[in-house]
Amino acid sequence: MSIAEGTRPRHVPDRLASRPARILRSWELLLTVIAILIFLANTQASPYFLDPWNLSDATFNFTEKAMIAFAMALLIIAGEIDLSVAGIIALASTAMGWALQYGAGMPVLVLIGLGVGLVCGAFNGLLVTRLGLPSIVVTIGTMSLFRGISYIVLGDQAFNGYPSDFAFFGRGYVFWVISFELVLFAVLAVIYGVVLHATNFGRQIYAIGNNATAATFSGIRVARVKMILFLLTGLMSGIAAICLTARLGSTRPSIAFAWELEVVTMVVLGGVSILGGAGSILGVVIAALIMGMVTFGLGLLNVPGIVMSIFIGALLIGVIALPRLIRLVRTGKAA
Amino acid sequence: MKQFITSREAILLAALVALILLVETRFSGFAAPGNLASVFNDTSILIMLALGQTLVILTRCIDLSQASNLALTGMVTAMINAAMPGVPVVALISIAVALGLLMGAFNGLLVWKLDIPPIVVTLGTLTIYRGIIFVVSGGAWVNSHEMSAAYKAFPRAEFLTLPVLSWIALAVIAGFAILVNRTALGRAFFAVGGNPSAAVYTGIDVGRTRFMAFVIAGGLAGLCGYLWVSRYAVAYTDVAGGFELDIVAACVIGGISIAGGLGSVTGAVLGALFLGTIKNALPVAGISPFWQMAISGAAIIIAVAFNRRKDPGRVILKEPAQ
């Protein structure tokens, strides 16, 4: 029974070859329509929704998660996954809080946040690329390990008292209602969009995700690209940790708990194939907006967070199931 | 015999025994039969869930919704019990299993009929099932004093020196040993995971087999929902939050290959017992429970690195190490 071991379960459809970019485009169109519908529903549901400051507050629902989602999208397109991102946030935040106890100032805190993110990403990347372990299992392990270290350090305690110049990363506004986080989100979206869709490196990511063996044959250094992607995901988690810690003003080991699932949901909702090889940054951006609006709109209606998660879960399954359901009814075959 | 000694299961068993002895040398009494029985009892639920997960992973899928399924069925049985204490426990268990089967079937249908990747399906149902708990309970807890005595007593009742909970786990293990090793469906799980295309040619319906794996995993999660809530005598929205990953961890430690097609009932049971023993040993050793998460994380990484299998040589060109 030892057939095909070591390979990820993957039945990559020749999506890009057989049905050109049309499907991808229509996916983003579908998402845009949904986003507009949700926006309209929100304006009808609550008179407070259109207030600029309210809308500005709403962006905090997705900016930090979306930053990670960009890197995660690249990683998933390349056929890997990182479930430890929320664990990295917890560890990076704990390291920053720990340094704070020794009087570290804003620049040091930022460097520590970024550094811990990179080290964690490197740890995941080395385990996956050097030892050839499946990333889903490795990162389930490091998820517990990273957050576990936070629990060892902090227990039921918390770190407080972050300096005010550090708080800018989470609470600062660049212009009127435009927060620093929102600007960072937009800048990162553009950078990731360009990297994925307009560079050699981006094409390599798609090639690896569609067929890693063929990519190797065409001279792509698969392990190196994957390593870079794990480093990027770690770095983005570090950046998210800085923003989130600055916004909350405190560190608890339960910080960003279960965010990995929301980040993956955002990426998949954005049309990135969980099997690798297909997806776009634009899709992820729209998915981030959708998730942010759903959360915020329901929040204005006093719907508790746990109930919102039903909507997010249903949205995830519904959006993916709908086209397949239509195909099933029409042709009798789902895929 | 030689085959057994070099098998993953034997190595894992040796590691488990070594772990128990290590704790015993520092704190005598840990390896006493009575204490080991209580460790087993504590781990019973994890064992059953890991067995369900094993079937799913064997078919190259994953079920992340087990813990939410468990929490929802547990809450439903607790609420029925609180509202109508007269309903016999047997009926509640039947309801729990039926509800679990239903949720498993929902996962399975989406994977089978709509061909949605299992990680996406169960990521979605993970949040949906847990959200429904809040909707049905209104966020309220069902506390110990609202539950009937019979409801709480069942898993604790002793029968031939072991609690009923342990007996149920033993029965499930035995059932799985037969199902996996002695039935056509059991072999189909391996065939589907080992090579789906070949499985189709041998007349196995891949989608249906996966569906069955999800249904069984769901049914067990439902059963465990009642057992969990009655054992801890409290039901609330976050029951067993994050437990889905402990279950996957138990399977990984037990040598179930995440790539599908490889694994055994013994491995899953030992993997769960390994995690359960660590969980029980920490307080005995006076280590803060806050260490537990990091230790299980490290255990998973070590186990998966240790279980690394060499590719059988079918790939023409392996990915370069660099």
Who among B134, B293, B319 is closest to A216 (CB)?
A: B319
Higher pLDDT, A55 or B207: B207
Say yes or no for a CB contact (<8 Å) between B294 and A1. no
Who among B113, B134, B297 is closest to A306 (CB)?
A: B134
**Annotated domain spans of chain A:** 15-331
pLDDT reading at A45 higher than 70: yes
Q: How confident is the model at residue A3 (pLDDT cuts 50, 70, 90)?
A: very low
User: Residue A286 and residue A283: Cα distance in Å, rounded?
Assistant: 5
| A131 and B CB contact within 8 Å | yes
Higher pLDDT, B249 or A193: A193
Q: Which residues of B touch A316 (CB under 8 A)?
A: 120, 123-124
Mean pLDDT in residue range A8-12:
51
pLDDT score, position B312 = 41
Minimal CA separation from B230 to chain A, in Å: 24
pLDDT reading at B315 higher than 50: no
Q: How confident is the model at residue B78 (pLDDT cuts 50, 70, 90)?
A: very high
pLDDT score, position A7 = 41
Respond yes or no on whether ipTM tops 0.90. Answer: no
- Token couple for A170: 């989470």
pLDDT reading at A136 higher than 50: yes
Higher pLDDT, B123 or B269: B269
Who among A4, A132, A213 is closest to B308 (CB)?
A: A132
| A274 and B CB contact within 8 Å | yes
What DSSP designation does B142 have? B
| A149 and B CB contact within 8 Å | yes
pLDDT reading at B250 higher than 70: yes
Who among B113, B242, B320 is closest to A334 (CB)?
A: B113
pLDDT reading at A9 higher than 70: no
- Token couple for A187: 């800048």
pLDDT score, position A191 = 97
Mean pLDDT in residue range A310-332:
83
Lowest mean pLDDT among A10-14, A28-32, A181-185: A10-14
Give the DSSP H/E element, type plus range, for residue A250. Answer: strand A250-251
Say yes or no for a CB contact (<8 Å) between A213 and B293. no
| A216 and B CB contact within 8 Å | yes
Q: How confident is the model at residue A13 (pLDDT cuts 50, 70, 90)?
A: low
Say yes or no for a CB contact (<8 Å) between A313 and B127. yes
Who among A137, A152, A306 is closest to B290 (CB)?
A: A152
Say yes or no for a CB contact (<8 Å) between B113 and A328. yes
The pair phi, psi for residue B217, each rounded to 5°, is -60, -40
Mean pLDDT in residue range A78-103:
95
Listing DSSP states for A112-123 in one string gives: HHHHHHHHHHHH
Who among A131, A223, A334 is closest to B305 (CB)?
A: A131
Lowest mean pLDDT among A117-126, A166-175, B162-171, B218-227: A166-175
Say yes or no for a CB contact (<8 Å) between A151 and B319. no
User: Residue A109 and residue A137: Cα distance in Å, rounded?
Assistant: 31
Say yes or no for a CB contact (<8 Å) between B257 and A5. yes
Q: Which residues of B touch A212 (CB under 8 A)?
A: 319
pLDDT score, position A8 = 44
Who among B134, B293, B321 is closest to A304 (CB)?
A: B134
Say yes or no for a CB contact (<8 Å) between B312 and A320. no
3-class secondary structure, B7: coil
| A304 and B CB contact within 8 Å | yes
pLDDT score, position A326 = 83
Mean pLDDT in residue range B249-256:
90
pLDDT reading at B168 higher than 60: yes
Say yes or no for a CB contact (<8 Å) between B131 and A310. yes
Interface probe, candidates A144, A252, A255, chain B, greatest B C-beta count within 10 A: A144
Interface probe, candidates A135, A137, A259, chain B, greatest B C-beta count within 10 A: A137
Q: How confident is the model at residue B319 (pLDDT cuts 50, 70, 90)?
A: very low
In Å, what is the CA distance from B131 to each residue of A45, B59, B125, B127?
A: 22, 28, 9, 6
Q: Which ranges of chain B does DSSP label H, i.e. alpha helix?
A: 2-5, 8-26, 33-58, 66-83, 89-113, 118-137, 149-153, 164-182, 184-194, 196-201, 206-232, 243-253, 265-284, 292-306
Minimal CA separation from B149 to chain A, in Å: 31
Listing DSSP states for B102-139 in one string gives: HHHHHHHHHHHHS---HHHHHHHHHHHHHHHHHHHHTT
pLDDT score, position A236 = 97
Percent of chain A, pLDDT > 90? Answer: 55
Superfamily (CATH H level) for A15-331: ABC transporter involved in vitamin B12 uptake, BtuC (1.10.3470.10)
pLDDT score, position B309 = 63
User: Residue A95 and residue A104: Cα distance in Å, rounded?
Assistant: 11
pLDDT reading at A49 higher than 90: no
Percent of chain B, pLDDT > 70? Answer: 94
Q: In whole numbers, what is the pLDDT of chain A averaged over residues?
A: 88
pLDDT reading at A73 higher than 50: yes
User: Residue A201 and residue A185: Cα distance in Å, rounded?
Assistant: 21
CB-based contacts of A41: which residues, under 8 Å, 6+ apart? Answer: A297
Q: Which residues of B touch A146 (CB under 8 A)?
A: 297
pLDDT reading at A122 higher than 50: yes
Higher pLDDT, A91 or A29: A91
Nearest CA in chain A to B252: A137
pLDDT reading at B316 higher than 50: no
Mean pLDDT in residue range B108-137:
92
Q: In whole numbers, what is the pLDDT of chain B averaged over residues?
A: 89
User: Residue B307 and residue A304: Cα distance in Å, rounded?
Assistant: 43
Mean pLDDT in residue range B279-303:
84
Percent of chain B, pLDDT > 90? Answer: 64
pLDDT reading at B243 higher than 50: yes
pLDDT single digits (tens) A218-234:
999 999 999 999 999 99
pLDDT reading at A284 higher than 60: yes
3-class secondary structure, A18: helix
3-class secondary structure, B239: coil
Q: How confident is the model at residue B4 (pLDDT cuts 50, 70, 90)?
A: low
3-class secondary structure, B235: strand
pLDDT reading at A77 higher than 70: yes
Mean pLDDT in residue range B130-140:
92
pLDDT score, position A333 = 66
Total CB pairs under 8 A between chain A and B? 208
User: Residue A172 and residue A54: Cα distance in Å, rounded?
Assistant: 15
Higher pLDDT, A325 or B66: B66
Who among B126, B135, B294 is closest to A152 (CB)?
A: B294
Interface probe, candidates A310, A324, A331, chain B, greatest B C-beta count within 10 A: A310
| A287 and B CB contact within 8 Å | no
Q: Which residues of A touch B322 (CB under 8 A)?
A: 221, 223-224
**Annotated domain spans of chain B:** 44-244
